[in-house]
């Protein structure tokens, strides 16, 4: 059963489609944090596009990567950090059951080190503008554009990264 159309919306999605899209978004975040780049790439259609910023100079999506292999390679950028954690804080989906769009809000933590060796947490407050396509009964990313709204720097106290001090 489909929900009634809401004002300002051109299309609606069934609840099951919304759940599947939310799962797709969560699996992407988990795969990136786990450094499972091939697993993240297969969440994209073969001809999909991932557009990413080039922080700190460019916070909008300026680097475009097409196809699963290029997307997996682009995601390897997180290897520059010791840990990452993507927290999805909001998601809105619209579509018709064959294609959909999404606006995903996320806070992404990037733990690394300053040139002095001191730990640092770069916190990106970001949004994804997504396009999805249902293919062989499964939702996939057709296009994903990442924009950073702002960046914070924090000094973490402790981390599970073994090389960091466990002293409080």
pLDDT at 164: 46
35 three-class SS: coil
Local structure of 27: helix, strand or coil: helix
User: What pLDDT band is residue 12 in, cutting at 50, 70 and 90?
Assistant: confident
* Token pair belonging to 33: 């944090």
158: confidence class by pLDDT, cuts 50, 70, 90: confident
* pLDDT value at residue 157: 86
Give residue 135's pLDDT.
Answer: 96
For 64-68, 114-118, 127-131, which range has the lowest pLDDT when averaged over its residues? 114-118
Contacts of 3 (CB under 8 A, 6+ apart): 12, 14, 15
pTM, whole model, 2 decimals?
0.88
Residue 65 CB neighbour total at 10 angstroms: 20
CA 70 – CA 20 distance, rounded (Å)? 25
How many helices (DSSP H) and strands (DSSP E) are in the chain?
3, 6
CA distance 125 to 142: 23
CB-based burial label for 34 (10 Å; 0-12, 13-18, 19+): exposed
Among 103, 108, 102, residue whose Cα is nearest residue 33 = 108
Q: What pLDDT does residue 160 have?
A: 77
Kindly report, residue by residue over 28-58, the tens digit of the pLDDT. Answer: 999 999 999 999 999 999 999 999 999 999 9
Contacts of 65 (CB under 8 A, 6+ apart): 49, 50, 51, 52, 71, 73, 74
């Amino acid at each position: 059963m489909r929900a009634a159309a809401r004002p300002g919306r051109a299309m609606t999605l069934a609840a099951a489609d919304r759940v599947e899209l939310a799962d797709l978004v969560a699996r992407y975040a988990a795969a990136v944090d786990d450094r499972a780049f091939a697993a993240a790439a297969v969440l994209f259609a073969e001809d999909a596009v991932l557009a990413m910023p080039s922080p700190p100079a460019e916070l909008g999506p300026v680097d475009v990567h097409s196809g699963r292999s290029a997307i997996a390679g682009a995601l390897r950028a997180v290897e520059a950090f010791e840990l990452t954690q993507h927290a999805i804080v909001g998601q809105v989906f619209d579509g018709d059951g064959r294609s959909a769009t999404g606006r995903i809000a996320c806070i992404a933590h990037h733990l690394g080190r300053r040139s002095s060796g001191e730990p640092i947490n770069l916190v990106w407050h970001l949004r994804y503008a997504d396009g999805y396509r249902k293919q062989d009964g499964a939702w996939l990313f057709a296009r994903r554009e990442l924009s950073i709204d702002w960046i914070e720097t924090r000094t973490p106290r402790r981390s599970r990264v073994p090389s960091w001090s466990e002293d409080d």
